[in-house]
């Protein structure tokens, strides 16, 4: 993999960065060549974009899209900064140093993104890492925790918006689900079970998708419930079936498998009857 990357670095149109393809040039040497004007900085950075993306994704604990994520842009600038600051003494690794710089810049970015930081000073906990850069483990942990919450909140908001758009294809709205949901827990469990039967059956779900109608007769037979139960909870069952088969990890947590209620017990309570 590294050989391929170095071929990209030194095999381009720039004569000053041409190196024979069978030479294994360490990143530390490339950095020195860049400083001497013997290698292309832009080619070097471009070749290491996969590495930069990997470091950034590991830091953020999620996939980072190099084309869209602000975090990747921050990391890219940090990598360029590392080229300027690196001192290849005592066998130090450039990539290790670059990762440290990237993490520090991402931490700074995360801190700036937090609008409601605590007022308790953490300076007493500052310490130097192996690259002699000041690190505050407590402040870093707090900043990352708040950043994680912010990211999760945004992900939930986007998920709800996508789900709402999907529901509208069936003339249902997300806000409407509050009124559609049965009041009794055993009734909700029953309807969740029915919706799961629908979502897991390719033929029945195809009917829902193509005709936007519930296969009522089949569901009544499979779930052993009355037609009245299916018809009066039509929208709720459809909404849950769409949720089961959609890419909605946060919302799906609310309909994790539950104990099945007996049909006659639920109908006795009147599932939206």
State the average pLDDT over residues 62-76: 87
111 with 143: CB under 8 angstroms?
yes
261 with 189: CB under 8 angstroms?
yes
Report the C-alpha gap between 84 and 45 in whole angstroms. 12
Q: In angstroms, what is the C-alpha Rg of the chain?
A: 28
pLDDT at 244 over 70: yes
Burial class (CB in 10 A: 0-12, 13-18, 19+), 116: exposed
Q: What residue ranges do the domains of the chain occupy?
A: 27-117, 170-253
Among 78, 75, 97, 80, CA closest to 35: 80
Residue of higher predicted confidence among 170 and 131: 170
Distances (CA, A) of 125 to 139, 141, 144: 9, 12, 16
What is the overall mean pLDDT for the chain?
Answer: 76
CATH fold of 27-117 reads: Rna Polymerase Sigma Factor; Chain: A (1.10.1740)
State the average pLDDT over residues 189-218: 91
Q: Which of 71-80, 99-108, 129-138, 230-239 has the lowest mean pLDDT?
A: 129-138
User: What are the beta bridge partners of residue 134?
Assistant: 128
Report the C-alpha gap between 261 and 241 in whole angstroms. 18
The confidence band for 124, taking pLDDT boundaries of 50, 70 and 90, is very low
Burial class (CB in 10 A: 0-12, 13-18, 19+), 56: buried
Report the C-alpha gap between 139 and 136 in whole angstroms. 5
Q: What is the pLDDT of residue 268?
A: 40
The confidence band for 128, taking pLDDT boundaries of 50, 70 and 90, is very low
47 with 5: CB under 8 angstroms?
yes
């Amino acid at each position: 993999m590294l050989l391929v990357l170095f071929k990209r670095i030194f095999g381009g149109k720039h004569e000053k960065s041409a190196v024979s393809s069978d030479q294994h040039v360490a990143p530390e040497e490339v950095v020195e060549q860049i400083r001497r004007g013997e290698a292309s900085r832009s080619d070097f950075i471009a070749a290491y974009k996969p590495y930069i993306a990997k470091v950034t994704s590991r830091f953020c604990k999620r996939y980072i899209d190099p084309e869209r994520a602000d975090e990747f842009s921050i990391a890219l600038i940090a990598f360029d900064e590392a080229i300027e600051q690196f001192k290849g003494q005592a066998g130090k690794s450039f990539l290790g140093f670059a990762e440290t710089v990237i993490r520090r810049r991402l931490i700074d970015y995360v801190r700036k993104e937090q609008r409601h930081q605590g007022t308790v000073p953490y300076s007493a906990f500052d310490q130097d890492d192996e690259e002699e850069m000041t690190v505050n483990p407590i402040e870093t942990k707090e900043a990352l925790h708040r950043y994680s919450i912010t990211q999760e909140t945004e992900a939930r908001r986007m998920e709800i918006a996508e789900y709402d758009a999907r529901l509208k294809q069936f003339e249902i709205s997300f806000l409407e689900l509050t009124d559609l949901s049965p009041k009794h827990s055993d009734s909700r469990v029953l309807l969740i079970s029915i919706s799961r039967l629908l979502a897991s059956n390719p033929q029945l779900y195809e009917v829902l998708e193509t005709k936007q109608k519930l296969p009522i007769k089949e569901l009544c037979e499979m779930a052993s419930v009355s037609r009245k139960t299916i018809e009066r909870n039509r929208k709720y069952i459809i909404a849950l079936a769409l949720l089961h088969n959609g890419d909605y990890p946060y919302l799906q947590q609310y309909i994790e498998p539950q104990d099945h209620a007996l049909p006659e017990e639920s109908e006795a309570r009147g599932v939206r009857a």
